[in-house]
């Protein structure tokens, strides 16, 4: 199955980002720590260009810690500042503010040399849908100023938010890209919740997730569901659904409920800390 989602508001959002980039000093790019590569919008590099950037790996509490460290090393080696953040607990945000202020000081010194009045450091928050941009802003602002939700597409317009740290932040809508060249990228975006659930096939997602976990996290499914892993993904979904009692009228196994349950528990971290993007 092909996974694609590029509604009209994303086209407008991309234009909005381009038009407002000149107003900011740096960009905070949020990536999902479970899929640091797949959640990177390839259009962002072209749009942002040489603008100072800090990458934030959000949802790090759901990702494999060892693999998150590998990704931080990867970005650092490529001269990109990278910080893992837990937006629920606020872990990592002090480091983000420190790096932002450091970049802001450099910008302000340059402005003063040109005779410009000192002003707050301005940051643009970028990322795919449902990666935590508005939650980040609320944490940094220490108040609820940006609308949040557990579904993609909550933020539809830009928002400027001031903080008490001499910082101003611009929230932007989550933006995907028109076509996923790699089918697995689409799957990873869908299974982590970046694509609207209403347009995806949960059974297909469940099969792919089961296969990935069997290959890369052997024993994890068995630990959670008590079902041996020496069977195919479709067979495993049947066994899982039966084990959980997902039955329709006539004692027919409800594969859809089983698939939805599996994906939901993955998203909630009930299967364990899992990273889908692996460095070779």
**pLDDT > 80? residue 150:** no
Q: Which two tokens stand for residue 1?
A: 């199955």
pLDDT of 107 above 90 = no
The pLDDT of residue 163: 74
Torsion, Cα of 212, 65, 182, 15 (10° steps) = 150
Kindly tell me if the per-residue pLDDT of 152 is higher than 50. Answer: no
CA 68, chain centre distance (Å): 13
Give 199: exposed, middle or buried? Use CB within 10 Å, 0-12, 13-18, 19+: exposed
For residue 131, give Cα distances in angstroms to 12, 107, 179: 19, 28, 19
Beta strands in 131-268 (DSSP E): 159-162, 167-171, 247-248, 252-253
Sequence-separated (6 or more) residues with CB below 8 Å from residue 151: 130, 193, 196, 197
Do 279 and 71 contact (CB within 8 A), yes or no? yes
| Structure confidence at residue 56 as a pLDDT band (50, 70, 90) | very high
Residue numbers in the known binding site are: 130-135, 174
Q: How sure is the predictor about 63, in pLDDT bands with cuts at 50, 70 and 90?
A: very high
> What would the pLDDT profile of 180-239 be if each residue is shown by its tens digit?
778 899 999 999 999 889 889 999 999 999 999 999 999 999 999 999 999 999 999 999
- Angle CA 269–156–191, to nearest 5: 25
β-sheet bridge partners, residue 57: 31, 84
Alpha carbons 242 and 244: distance in angstroms, whole number? 5
Q: To which residue do tokens 């998150």 refer?
A: 68
Average model confidence (pLDDT) across the chain: 86
Q: Which domains does the chain have, with CATH numbers?
A: 8-171 (3.40.50.300), 201-267 (1.10.1580.10)
Secondary structure of the chain: what % helix, strand, coil (to 5)?
45, 15, 40
pLDDT number for residue 50 = 87
Token digits for 40? 């990177």
Binding site as annotated, residues for GTP: 130-135, 174
Assessment of whether the complete model's pTM goes beyond 0.85: yes
pLDDT at position 116 over 50: yes
The closest alpha carbon to 32, from 141, 192, 175, belongs to 192
Q: What are the tokens at 159?
A: 């928002």
CA proximity to 53, closest of 19, 78, 90: 78
Q: Give the model's pLDDT for residue 168.
A: 87
User: pLDDT higher for 26 or 161?
Assistant: 26
């Amino acid at each position: 199955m092909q996974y694609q989602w590029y509604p009209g508001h994303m086209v407008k959002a991309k234009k909005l980002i381009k038009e407002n980039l000149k107003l900011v000093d740096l960009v905070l790019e949020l990536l999902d720590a479970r899929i640091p590569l797949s959640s990177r919008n390839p259009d962002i590099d072209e749009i942002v260009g040489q603008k100072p950037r800090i990458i934030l790996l959000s949802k790090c509490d759901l990702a494999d810690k060892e693999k998150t460290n590998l990704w931080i090393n990867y970005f650092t080696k490529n001269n990109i500042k990278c910080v893992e953040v837990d937006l629920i607990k606020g872990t990592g945000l002090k480091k983000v503010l420190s790096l932002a202020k450091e970049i802001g000081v450099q910008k302000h010194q340059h402005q003063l040399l040109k005779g410009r009045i000192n002003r707050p450091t301005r940051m643009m928050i970028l990322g795919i849908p449902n990666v935590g941009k508005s939650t980040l802003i609320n944490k940094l602002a220490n108040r609820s100023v940006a609308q949040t939700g557990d579904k993609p597409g909550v933020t539809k317009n830009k928002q400027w938010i001031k903080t008490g740290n001499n910082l101003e932040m611009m929230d932007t809508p989550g933006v995907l890209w028109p076509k996923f060249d790699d089918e697995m990228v689409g799957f990873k975006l869908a299974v982590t919740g970046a694509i609207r659930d209403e347009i995806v096939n949960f059974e297909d997602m469940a099969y792919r997730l089961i296969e990935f976990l069997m290959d890369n996290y052997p024993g994890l499914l068995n630990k959670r569901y008590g079902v041996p892993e020496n069977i195919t993904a479709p067979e495993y979904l049947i066994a899982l659904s039966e084990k959980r009692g997902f039955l329709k009228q006539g004692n027919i196994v409800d594969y859809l409920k089983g698939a939805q349950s599996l994906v939901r528990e993955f998203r909630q971290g009930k299967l364990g800390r899992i990273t889908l993007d692996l460095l070779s």
